[in-house]
Structure 1
Amino acid sequence: MLKVKALRCEHLNNPMGLGCLQPRLSWQIESDKMYVSQKRFQLQVSLNPTFEPLLWNHFSYSDQSILFPYEGPPLESGQRYYYRVKVWAQGAGDTEPEESEWSESGYWEMGLLHEQDWKAQWITVKERSIHEQFQTRAPFAASKCFSVEGKVKKAVIYATSLGLYELELNGQRVGDAYFTPGWTDYNDRVQVQAYDVTSTLREQHNRITATVGEGWYSGYLGWQKRKDTYGNTNALLFQMKISYEDGRSEVICSDSSWEEASCAILMSDIYNGEIYDARLEQQQAVEHSPLTERKMMQVVPFPLSHLIAQENEPVRVMNRLKPVELIRTPKGELVLNLGQNMVGWLEFKVEAPEGTVLNLVHGEVLDQQGNFYRDNIRDAAQQITYICSGKGTEIFRPHFTFQGFQYVKLEGFPDSIAIEDFTGVVLHSDMEPVGLFETSDPKLNQLQHNIVWGQKGNFLDVPTDCPQRDERLGWTGDAQIFARTASFNMNAASFFRKWLKDLAYNQLENGAVPFVVPDVLKGTFADNMDKTTAAWGDAAVICPWTIYQCYGDKQILAQQYDSMKAWVDYIRAQGNEECLWDTGLQLGDWLALDSEEGSYFGATDGTLVATAYFAYSTHILAQTAKLLNRYTDYNTYRSLHEGIKAAFANRYFDDAGKLTSNTQTAQVVALHFGLVPEKYKKQVIQELVSLIEKNDMHLDTGFVGTPYLCLVLSDNGYTDVAYKILFQNDYPSWLYQVERGATTMWEHWDSIKVDGSFWSTDMNSFNHYSYGSVGDFMYQNIAGIDVLEAGYKKSRLAPKPPANLTSARGKLETPYGALEVHWKIVNEEMQMTVLVPHNTTAKITLPGVMEPDALQQTIATQYPSIQYPPDNVPQELAGKLGSAGEQAIFQRSEDHEMTFTVGSGQYAFQYRYCQATQVPAHATRG
C-alpha cells in the first residue's frame, strides 16, 4: 500500500516561529513494492486542519519530494499553516501509477516577520551587582502580572535577549530549549524563539518571570579573558499575543511597567560556572508585600531590525546519565565518575543545613596517580557553588552555563550523599540522529561512539572546538573537516545553515574569513596572522557544498554564494602569482606529528597546503556557479581552477615527479584535491604508502592530512593500507585513544602519553572532534554508503570488508528515507542485505564475488524485475529493470566485484565470498 509519511518543513518537524517567506516542504514515500518512483504529487495548504477552505492547492508532474517551495499567497506573521501531500507513484509491475491517500497533516507557524509587528521594548534593570572574584554581572529577573479577559483560543510568546534567558509562566518553565536565544553575531543577528503557552494561562493572576544572564553576549569569551564582546548591557525583549475565542486579541509586552524580581543566581558564566544561593528563593514569596519597595525595569535602545527567527534546532536535554562510581582519590578527595566525557550539567539532590556551601568542580580525566585533574581546563573555573536553603530535599541544576566533564570533585557534601543523588544531564543542539554504524569489532564500535559523543559535546548551537576550557569557539577549520562525518551522524542541515549565515556576516570586506565564527578574536592574535588561513577560511566554501551534497539543499548554495565567491577572490589576491597562495602565515597541517619539537606546525609546506585548498575551493565554486546557472562565473572559476592545477604542479613537483614536501599530508592533499598530473599519480600514491611503511604503518598527519588519509588510500587501490592504519591500537592511532579509555575524541594523538603523562596543559582537550572525521571513511568504506546525486537521490552502496571484520551495518536516514547496508561473512559466504529508499536509485557493488555467473543467475531468479541479457556478454551486461524503464549496467572487475544499479526496495544477496588479496604491509607495490 502506498503512503506518504515524515512530512518536514525546512528540514524540521512542525516548526514554530518560522521566518522564511517561502518554506520548503518535504515528504517520504512508503510502499511494499520495489522500484517505486513518484510520478506526480498534490500539495495542499490551509489555515485550518480540516483543509477547508484551501489556501493553496498545487498539482505537479514531478518526482521532487524534498524541499519543494511554498508558492501560495503571502504568509502572515504569527499564522499557523497546515499542509498535506498526496502522491502518485509507480512500482515494479505497475502499468499505471498508484494513488496514495492524503498524508497526515503537518504544520508550520510563522514568527513575527516585520519590524512593525513588534510592540515590545528592550528592558533591563537599573543596577546590577558585580561578583568580586569573577568580575561578572549577576543575572537579573523581571516579572509582569496580568489577567486575561475571556476564553483564550491561543497564546504565543515571542522572546529573545541580549544574553541568555529563561522564562517561567505561572511557575512553569516555558519551552524545553536552553541557552536561548543562541549564539549569533549579535551586532547583526539576534534570534527570536516562539512558544505556544495556551494551556499554561489562567483566567486571573498570571505571572510571567524572565531571568537573563550574560551568556555569550557579555560574558567571558576566549582565553584572553575578554568580556563584553557585543555589549555591556543585558536586556530582555518579550511579546505575548493572546487570541480570544470571540475574535479579540491583546498583547503583553516588555516595557517599563515590568518589575525587577529577586534572583537567587549570584553569578553565572559559560566558562566559570554558577553560584546559586537557595536561601534567596524565599524572598520571592514576600517580594510583593506592601512593605517591599518595587523596583521597575528600564527601557534600553537596541535595533529591532536585527531580529531574526530561530534558524536551527535549539539546545535541549538530550540524554540523562547515571554515574558509574563515587570514589575517594589517593588525595582523599570525593570524586564522581560519570563514565562518559559529556557536556551539560550535573543535577543533584541534597539535604543539608541552611547555609551549607557545596562546590562541584568539573574535569575530564584523572592523573597517573588516580587523582582529580583539571590543569588542561586552563582558566575556566567550571565550578558550581550551591548554598543550601535547609528546607528538606533540594534539587538543583545550573542555568546559564555548561561544563565539559567526566569527573566531578565534590566539596562540602554531607557524608550521607550517595551516587544515586546525581544525574549527568547532556545538552546539545537537538539534531535528529540519522546514522548508525556498528561492526563485529567492539573497539571500532567504541571509536564510532567517541566520534558521536564528540559531536554531541561540541555541537552546542555552534560547532565549537572544545566544550570545557576557556575557549569553546566556533573554529572554522574543525567544522569544515568534520562536516561530512557530522552529517552521517545527525541531521545537521539547519545547524550549519544558521552558522554559515554568521560566517558570511563575519567575513571581512576583502573576503577573508575569520578563524572562528562568531568572530570573537577581533583585536587578538588573529590580527597578527592576516585574520585568516587556508583550510580554516575554506569552511566558507566546503561546508555549504557538503550540506548540499548530503541534503540536496541547493538553497544553501544560493544563500552562501557571495560568501563563497568572496573567499576565493580573497585568496586570488594574496599570492605572488594569481594561481598560487604563497604568502602570509599559514597554520598548515596543524598539530601534525612530523612537526619540529615544541611546534604546533606540521612539516608540510604551509603554502602547498594553502594552494591545494585554493584549488579545491575554486573547483567547488565553479560547480556551484554551474548549478545556480551563473555560467559566466562558472567559466571564470573553471579556468582559474585549471590555472591553479598547473601552477601547483610547476611549483610543488620537481622534474622527477616528487613533491617538494615529502610528507604524508602533502601526498594526501595533492591526491585528494586532484592536483597530481596523471603521469605522476602512481608514483605519488606509492610514495604515500612508502612514507606510511617507514612510519611502521602509522600516520603522522595533523588537522589537514588526517581527514583525507584513509579515503585517498582507498580511492587509489590501497584500501588494505587504510585499514592497517585504522586498526592500529598503539600510538599514534585512533584506537590508541580507545585503549586508553577515551569516550570522546582527543585534540592530540598523545593527549595521554604512553607512560600515562599528559601531552600539555596549554592545549589538551579530551573532547575535540576533529580527528573524528575518520567516521566519513568508515561509513563510506566499511558500511559502503556514499552519495552519488545530491541528497542521496542516487546513492552508492559499495562496502569494502576489512579482513579482520566478520560483519558491519550502516544505516542513514536520508531525506528520502532509510538507506541501509548490512553484511556478514559466515563460513566463507557473504550475506548482504540492502535497503534503498523509494523515489531513489542506488549503485550497488558486491565485493568478493567468487562465482559471478552463478550469482547473476540467483539474482535474476530472486528479483525477476531485473532481466539479464545472454551469457555471451561477460564483461558488461545490460538489462531492463522491469517497468521502471531504467538500465542497469552489470560490470565485473578484476577485484572480484560486481556492480549494478537498482531501484528502491530491499535486497538480499548470498554468495561464496572471496576476500580480496591483501598485500603484506612491508611490501612495496609496483
Structure 2
Amino acid sequence: MRPCIKTLLQKCAVFGLLFAVNLTALAQKLSVNDLKVEHLKNPLAIETPKPRFSWKIISTVKNTLQSSYEIRVGTSKASVNAGKDLVWKGSTTGDQSVLIEYAGSELQSKKRYYWQVRVKDNHGNTSAWSEPGLFQMGIAPTDWTAKWITVAGKDSSARSPLFRKEFSLQKKVKSAIAYITAKGLYEANINGQRVSDTYFAPGWTSYKDHLQYQVYDITAALKSGANVLGVSLGNGWYKGRIGFGNQHNFYGDTRGLLMQVEVEYTDGTKESINTDESWKYTYGPIMASDIYDGEIYDARMEIAGWNNTGFKEDAAWTAVGTMEKGTEKLVAMSGPPVRKHEQFKALKVFKTPAGETVVDFGQNLVGWVMLKAKGTAGTKITLSHAEVLTKEGNFYTVNLRSAKAQDTYILKENTEQVFEPHFTFQGFRYVKVEGYPGELKTEDLTAVAVYSDMETTGKFSTSNAMLNQLQHNIQWGQKGNFVDVPTDCPQRDERLGWTGDAQAFANTAAYNMDVAGFFTKWLKDVKTDQQPNGLIPHVIPNVLGPNDGASAGWADVSTIIPWDMYVAYGDRRILETQYESMQKWVGYISSVAKNNLWNSGFHFGDWLFYRPNDDNDGRAAVTDKYLIAQTFYAHSTQLLINAAKVLGKQDDVAKYTALLAEIKAAFVKEYMTPTGRLVSGTQTAYVLALHFDMLPEELRAPCAERLVANVRDYGNHLTTGFLGTPYLCHVLTRFGHNNVAYDLLMQESYPSWLYPVKMGATTIWERWDGIKPDGSFQTPDMNSYNHYAYGAIGDWMYRTIAGINSVADQPGYKSIVIAPKPGGKITNASAELETVYGTVKSAWTLENGLLKLDVTVPANTKAKIVLPDTTKEIGSGSYHFESKI
C-alpha cells in the first residue's frame, strides 16, 4: 500500500471515530427513561381500555422542553424495536410527557404489549428510542375459566388450609401467566418456590363490591414434566377479626381460592391449569392466624415437600369443595403490592425489672420478627410486641387493647429453624420473648419492615438534628400505616382506614413517596362505600356499618384527596373517576344544611386537640364543631369547583360558585362578629377560617393577628388537633408570620412536634403527650405511638423550609415554585422531590447575611425562584443563586 493512501485511510479512520464520538455525545444530550403505564412500571394487569403512558426526559442542556414525541406499541419487543407490526404509532407536537392516553386499536384481554418513545426538544435534538417498556392487559370477566375452591364442608377451622395441584407439561413453554385471587389472604408457590415476593394479596378492598386479582409471570418457574401448584390461605381482613366488638366474618365466613394458569407453548398451542374439583387440600402448620392477634405456627405439623414434585402423601388429602363466585367483581390490582423492606438487627436483649426477656430494635416499625431457634420438639416460643416500655422499664401492651399481637412458634425436633409469620403484621419496637430454649442472642432476631411498595420520592434535611428526626418519624409513620390502605394505626385492635387521618396527611405523603397508585386504589373504595345519599363512612373500607351521619374533615376525604393527587401527579382521570363521588358528598351536606349552615349531626371535631388535665381556667382549646363543619363545607365546595373547571363542567362551576358564596355568607353571619372575632377563639377556628378563605378580605389580616396572639398566649405552643394542625403553619406563613410558624415548629415542650422527638419517639404519636413529661402514659384506650396525622407538618417543611411547591394550574410539577423561607435558627436545609417529570432539588445555606441557594429543575418543566430580594423565571437545569436577607 502506498504511504499516502495509508495515511489517508488512517485519517479517515480517526475522523470516523471522532464522528461516532460526536454522534454519541449528541445522542446523550437528550434521552428518555423511567417509562410507566398508569403510574406503574411494567404492570401485568391493566384494566382500563385506554392506558396512559408517562416518561421522563434527561437532558444535559438547560432550558429543555419537549417539542414533540413519538410512541409506538406492539405485541413483541422485536416488533417495537423494528417499528413493524404495531398496534399504535402516535406522533404529536407538544410538551406532554405524563399520562398520554393510548389511541390505537382495541387492546386484547390478557395480551402483553411493548412500547417505547422518543422525543424532540426545543433545541432541535432528537433522542434515541427508549428501551421498550411493557404492560399486559387484565383478564376480562368472560375469560375466567377457573372455579372457586375451598375446604369441604364448613370452613370452621382456625388453621390455614393448603391446596395442591400437580400437572405435567410435555411441550416447550413459551410463556406462563398465573392469575390469582382469594377470599382471605393467599401465599402461592410453584415447584416449592413462592410465585412472588409480595404479601397480603389480594389486598384489602371493599370485597363485597370488588376483589382484586394479581398476575404473575411464572414462565421461569415451570419445568418439563411434573409441576406443582401449592397455595395456603389465611383469614386476613376477609374472614378474620376486623373492626370493633370482636367482629369476625365481616365479608364472608368461607375462605376461597381462584387460580388460573395459562401456558403458551412454543408451537403456538395453549393450556390452562385451573382451580377446580381436581385439587386436594389438607391443613398445614399455621394453627391460627389473625391480623390483630398474630399467628400460631407448629413446626411439628409441617408437611415436607407438599408444594413440590415427588410428593406422594396427597393421596390421603381431601378433595376440595367448590363455591359460587359471589356478587363481587374481579378487578385488576391497581395499587402497589406489599413487600418486605428495611431489616433491623436487634440492638440489645435485656431483662426488665419485672424479669421479662425483651429485645429492643431501636425503631418503631410495622412488620414482624424473623426468629432463629433450635430446641426440643414441642418447645413453645411466644413473641409479644410493644411500642414502648413503662417509665420503670417494663414491657407495655395495655395500649394495644384487646389485640394479642403475639406470634407463637412450636419447635420440631432439634433442627435450627427460622420462623416468620405469613398472614399477620404487628407494630412494635420491643419484643418480649418467652420460652426460648437456651440463651437468646441479638443475632437470633431480625425485625423486618413491611409496607406497600411505594417509591421513595422525597428527601429532606436541615442543620437541626431534631427536625431531621421529626422528618424520620414522619416517614416511618407513613411506612407503618401504608400497608395496602392508609390506616390510623398499625398495632392495636383497629388498623382501619380512617378518612380524617388520610386526608390530613395526603399532601405530606405525596412528598415522601409515590402514592399515586396507592391512593388511586383506595379512592375506588371511598367511592364504592359512599352511601346512596352521598354520606362518606368514617373508615374505608367500611367495616363499621352504615353511618347515621358524616363527620366534617373525615368525609371530606372524598374531595380533598382527589384534588391533592391531581395537583401532585397531574392525573386528570382521578378527577373524572371521583367527580360523581365529590358531587354527591357536597350534595349530602347541602341536603342536611339549614339556611346554608351545616349545623347538625355528629362530628369528631378537632380530634385530640390540646386538653390539659386541669381545665379550671378554661384553657382547653375546644372549637365549635359546627363552625368546623361549615369551613369544610366551603372547602369541599371549592374543591368541587376546582375539579369542575379542570373537567370543563361550566354549568357546575356556576352552580357551586353561587353555593360557595352562600356558605361563606352563612358562616360570617353565624360565627363571626362585625370586627372579625370568631365565636370560638381557638387556633383551629382561626386557622380553618383563614385557610379556607371564609372571612371578608379586609378582616383576614386582623384575624391572623388574633391567631398569633393566641399562639403567644400559650407560650408559643400549638393547641390544634387533627383538623387544625395540617394548616396551622401554612396560615401563619401566608399572612406574614413565618417567624411564629418557626417558633411553633422549634418548640420542644408539650404540646409541640418536637416534644415526642425529645422523648425518644421514632414515629409520630397519636397524642401530643402520648408519654407525659413524668414518663407516665396518656389514657391507654387510645394512645398509639404510630399515628401519622400530626406528621402533616411535613407538607409545610417541604414547601416553606426547602421551598418546593407545586402549582395547581400546572399540576404534577409541570410548573414549580421554589421559594425557601429560612427561620428558626436553621443555617442550612436541602430537599429533593422525584416528580413525574424528574428530580427537583432545593438546597440553601445562610452565610454572612447571604442566602445561597442551589436548585435543580427537571427537563420539560419551568420554575419560578422566589428570593428575599428578587424573583426569577428559569427553565430546566442546575443553578446557583445568592440573595441578601
Q: Specify which of 558, 570, 581 is matched with residue 540 of structure 1.
A: 558
Q: Which residue of 1 aligns with 2:144?
A: 118
CA contact (8 A) 2:211 2:328 kept: no
Question: What per-residue deviation string (whole Å, max 9, x for no partner) do you get for residues 323-354 of structure 1?
Answer: 21111111111101110000001011111111
Q: Specify which of 808, 818, 823 is matched with residue 797 of structure 1.
A: 818
Q: Specify which of 93, 101, 104 is matched with residue 72 of structure 1.
A: 104
Question: What per-residue deviation string (whole Å, max 9, x for no partner) do you get for residues 356-396 of structure 1?
Answer: 10000001000010011000000000000100012411011
Overall identity of the aligned pairs, in %: 45
Unaligned residue ranges in structure 1 (runs of 5+): 132-136, 848-896, 915-926
> Take 2:94 and 2:620, find their aligned partners in 1: how far apart are those partners?
52
Question: What per-residue deviation string (whole Å, max 9, x for no partner) do you get for residues 245-276 of structure 1?
Answer: 00001000001110013411000000000000
Letter of the 2:559 counterpart: V
Residue 343 of structure 2 corresponds to residue 343 of structure 1? no
Deviation (angstroms), 1:831: 2.1
Residue 350 of structure 2 corresponds to residue 327 of structure 1? yes
> Take 1:6 and 1:289, find their aligned partners in 2: how far apart are those partners?
47
> Take 1:159 and 1:289, find their aligned partners in 2: how far apart are those partners?
25
Q: Which residue of 1 aligns with 2:467?
A: 444
Question: Aligned in 2, Cα 1:426/1:712: closer, same or farther, shift over 3 Å?
Answer: same
CA contact (8 A) 2:206 2:541 kept: yes
Question: What per-residue deviation string (whole Å, max 9, x for no partner) do you get for residues 203-242 of structure 1?
Answer: 1221111111110001101231101111101100000000
Q: Specify which of 828, 836, 841 is matched with residue 815 of structure 1.
A: 836
Higher mean displacement: 62-71 or 384-393? 384-393
> Take 1:909 and 1:426, find their aligned partners in 2: how far apart are those partners?
40
> Take 1:125 and 1:284, find their aligned partners in 2: how far apart are those partners?
21
Deviation (angstroms), 1:293: 2.6
Question: What per-residue deviation string (whole Å, max 9, x for no partner) do you get for residues 646-671 of structure 1?
Answer: 11111111123211111110000000
> Take 1:408 and 1:600, find their aligned partners in 2: how far apart are those partners?
39
Q: Which residue of 2 aligns with 1:409?
A: 432
Question: Aligned in 2, Cα 1:362/1:217: closer, same or farther, shift over 3 Å?
Answer: same
Deviation (angstroms), 1:282: 3.9
> Take 1:459 and 1:600, find their aligned partners in 2: how far apart are those partners?
35
Q: Specify which of 29, 38, 43 is matched with residue 10 of structure 1.
A: 38
Q: Which residue of 2 aligns with 1:563?
A: 581
> Take 2:198 and 2:415, find their aligned partners in 1: how far apart are those partners?
29
> Take 2:198 and 2:165, find their aligned partners in 1: how far apart are those partners?
22
Q: Specify which of 126, 133, 139 is matched with residue 106 of structure 1.
A: 133
Q: Which residue of 1 aligns with 2:524?
A: 501
Residue 65 of structure 2 corresponds to residue 37 of structure 1? yes
CA contact (8 A) 1:122 1:236 kept: yes
- 1:618-629 matched pairs, under 5 angstroms: 618-629=637-648
Q: Specify which of 252, 265, 280 is matched with residue 244 of structure 1.
A: 265
Question: Aligned in 2, Cα 1:241/1:601: closer, same or farther, shift over 3 Å?
Answer: farther
- 1:71-470 matched pairs, under 5 angstroms: 71-90=103-122, 94=123, 97-112=124-139, 114-127=140-153, 137-282=158-303, 289=312, 293-303=316-326, 306-470=329-493
Question: What per-residue deviation string (whole Å, max 9, x for no partner) do you get for residues 385-432 of structure 1?
Answer: 100012411011100100000000000112232101111111101011
Higher mean displacement: 220-229 or 395-404? 220-229
> Take 1:679 and 1:288, find their aligned partners in 2: how far apart are those partners?
81
Q: Which residue of 2 aligns with 1:899?
A: 871
Residue 709 of structure 2 corresponds to residue 690 of structure 1? yes
Q: TM-score, normalised by structure 1?
A: 0.90
Q: Which residue of 2 aligns with 1:891?
A: none
CA contact (8 A) 1:590 1:602 kept: no
Q: Alignment partner of 1:98: what SS?
A: coil
CA contact (8 A) 1:223 1:379 kept: no
Question: Aligned in 2, Cα 1:433/1:64: closer, same or farther, shift over 3 Å?
Answer: same
> Take 2:196 and 2:620, find their aligned partners in 1: how far apart are those partners?
46
Q: Specify which of 735, 738, 741 is matched with residue 722 of structure 1.
A: 741
CA contact (8 A) 1:515 1:531 kept: no
- 1:674-713 matched pairs, under 5 angstroms: 674-713=693-732
Question: What per-residue deviation string (whole Å, max 9, x for no partner) do you get for residues 683-713 of structure 1?
Answer: 1001000111110110111011111001100
Residue 530 of structure 2 corresponds to residue 480 of structure 1? no
- 1:885-896 matched pairs, under 5 angstroms: none
Question: Aligned in 2, Cα 1:541/1:600: closer, same or farther, shift over 3 Å?
Answer: farther
CA contact (8 A) 2:746 2:824 kept: no
> Take 1:238 and 1:189, find their aligned partners in 2: how far apart are those partners?
17
Q: Alignment partner of 1:99: what SS?
A: coil
Question: Aligned in 2, Cα 1:254/1:304: closer, same or farther, shift over 3 Å?
Answer: farther
> Take 2:289 and 2:875, find their aligned partners in 1: how far apart are those partners?
55
Q: Which residue of 1 aligns with 2:604?
A: 587
> Take 2:589 and 2:306, find their aligned partners in 1: how far apart are those partners?
62
> Take 1:423 and 1:129, find their aligned partners in 2: how far apart are those partners?
34
Higher mean displacement: 587-596 or 148-157? 587-596
> Take 1:603 and 1:248, find their aligned partners in 2: how far apart are those partners?
71
CA contact (8 A) 1:320 1:426 kept: yes
CA contact (8 A) 1:591 1:601 kept: no
Deviation (angstroms), 1:910: 3.2
Question: Aligned in 2, Cα 1:291/1:658: closer, same or farther, shift over 3 Å?
Answer: closer
Q: Which residue of 2 aligns with 1:645?
A: 664
Unaligned residue ranges in structure 2 (runs of 5+): 1-28
Q: Which residue of 2 aligns with 1:854?
A: none
Deviation (angstroms), 1:115: 1.5
Question: Aligned in 2, Cα 1:288/1:814: closer, same or farther, shift over 3 Å?
Answer: closer
Deviation (angstroms), 1:601: 9.8
Letter of the 2:850 counterpart: E
Question: What per-residue deviation string (whole Å, max 9, x for no partner) do you get for residues 77-117 of structure 1?
Answer: 22111111111101xxx4xx2111111111111120x2110
Letter of the 1:313 counterpart: P
Letter of the 1:104 counterpart: E
Letter of the 1:406 counterpart: R
Question: Aligned in 2, Cα 1:745/1:290: closer, same or farther, shift over 3 Å?
Answer: closer
Q: TM-score, normalised by structure 2?
A: 0.94
The CA RMSD over aligned residues, in Å, is 1.7
> Take 1:290 and 1:15, find their aligned partners in 2: how far apart are those partners?
38
Q: Which residue of 2 aligns with 1:672?
A: 691
Deviation (angstroms), 1:735: 0.6
Q: Which residue of 2 aligns with 1:924?
A: none
Letter of the 1:566 counterpart: K
> Take 2:389 and 2:349, find their aligned partners in 1: how far apart are those partners?
13
CA contact (8 A) 1:129 1:138 kept: no
Deviation (angstroms), 1:289: 4.8
> Take 1:129 and 1:561, find their aligned partners in 2: how far apart are those partners?
41
Q: Which residue of 2 aligns with 1:551?
A: 569
Q: Alignment partner of 1:168: what SS?
A: strand
Letter of the 1:410 counterpart: V
Residue 552 of structure 2 corresponds to residue 520 of structure 1? no
Q: Which residue of 2 aligns with 1:881?
A: none
Letter of the 1:561 counterpart: Y
Question: What per-residue deviation string (whole Å, max 9, x for no partner) do you get for residues 721-744 of structure 1?
Answer: 000000001111111000000000
Letter of the 1:589 counterpart: D
> Take 1:339 and 1:595, find their aligned partners in 2: how far apart are those partners?
30
> Take 1:167 and 1:226, find their aligned partners in 2: how far apart are those partners?
27
Letter of the 2:481 counterpart: N
